Amino acid sequence: MLNFLAAYLAVVGGATAGLQAARGVVRGLGKLIEGEPRQALAEVAGGLAAPFLSLVHQATQLGAEVCQVAGVLGDDGQPGVRLDRAA
C-alpha cells in the first residue's frame, strides 16, 4: 500500500512539475514568435522556476500546520493558540 502511495505521489508530482515547465516553454515560444527574445527567456525561466516555488510554498504551509498542531498539543488541546507569543 505504501509503495502504491509513493508511486502515485511521484507520478502526479512529476507530471505537475513537467506541465508547469512546459507551460513556461510554450509561453516563451509565443513571445519569441512575437519578436521578444528577452521576454521569451523570462517566460521559460519562470516556467522552470514554478515547480521549485510551488515546493517551497507547500513546505512552508506544512511547517506552519505542524507548528499549529504542536501549539495546540502543548496548550492542553485548547484551540486558538497564538503562535507569535514568546515561549
User: Is a pLDDT exceeding 70 seen at residue 69?
Assistant: yes
- pTM flag (> 0.85): no
- 27/4 Cα distance (integer angstroms): 34
- The CA-based dihedral angle spanning residues 50, 52, 54, 56, taken in that order and rounded to the nearest 10 degrees: -150
With cut-offs at 50, 70 and 90, classify the pLDDT of residue 72: confident
Percent of the residues in the chain that have a pLDDT greater than 70, as a whole number: 85
- 40/47 Cα distance (integer angstroms): 11
From residue 72, alpha-carbon distances to 38, 47, 82 in Å are 50, 38, 9
User: Is a pLDDT exceeding 70 seen at residue 18?
Assistant: yes
Please state the rounded mean pLDDT for residues 45-67: 94
Please state the rounded mean pLDDT for residues 28-37: 96
